[in-house]
Structure 1
Amino acid sequence: MSDLCLIFGRPKVKGKEAFLAALRKAQVESGCVIQAMDASLIVGESHATLAAEKAIRAFSEEKNVAKDLGLEILRYASGKRQIGRALTMGVSEETERIALIVVENGTPPKISDIIEIDGEGPCWSRAAVREAFEIGEAEIEAAGEERIPDIVLERVALMDAYR
């Protein structure tokens, strides 16, 4: 399996399109897959790595939905089968912190010009995660507010069951 790396930081390149263009350039130069996500929606390192591992496995078994590994990672991370709905996990103009999943296939990408690594790790927003993963009051009452990360991981894990 390819090496996975998860990096959190703040974008140095301003504007969504310019940021994504800088990411694409880093991907081409390194030969790695780099998927950027809004860090406020990543509930932990296990969330991002599970999504990446499941996406890589889907590609190796030719069961992927997206044609691009980065989009497949985003799809799994979002817990959404449809690519269009999964894009809500990605970077937007409002994104303050970025979570980058890097699937290294050779030379590590040079990302220091793209994001300022802050070393804070996951700092997710309860309200944003509940909205993005459609976690309702009934689930919160049944599982408890502290179990939101477990609910998200369950959504990621069950993606393959919804084929």
Structure 2
Amino acid sequence: MATQTQTQPQRRSKALLWTGVGVGVVGVGALIAVALADLGKADQIASVTGAVLAAVGIGLTLWGQFGRGAAAPQAAPPAPGVTASGAGAVAAGGSIGSVATGSGTSPAPAPASAPAPAPGPSTTPAPGPVTASGDRSVAAGGDIGSVSTGDA
């Protein structure tokens, strides 16, 4: 029999889920009991309870979205062995679709007859580190589609 281990946030999440289910069951049971005794009173209690729970739900949703409940996204670390030094230098560990460096440059447009291939994984991986050193130098560990390095 395999043993499953849960992390602290998973256990806390499950505990909160079951607590909410328990509160809901008790609340429905209480409303049924009050409804059997006095339907008008049950209607009033249900209205107030619904409004309070809606406000709590909105508050929890906002806290989960903008508060401490969500972890801040972190930038991916640079690929090891990929360096670019110099003004306008570009280096990539994989393929590059198009690159334009310098003032007023733009990548060459793809011919109208053939659509430009989407950049994908390189057919041959870089044998070692990828380094672009010097002004407007470009290096890639994979394929390069289009490069423009001069002033237009």
TM-score by length of 2: 0.20
Higher RCO structure (Cα 8 Å, ≥6 apart): 1
Higher helix proportion (structure 1 or 2)? 1
TM-score by length of 1: 0.19
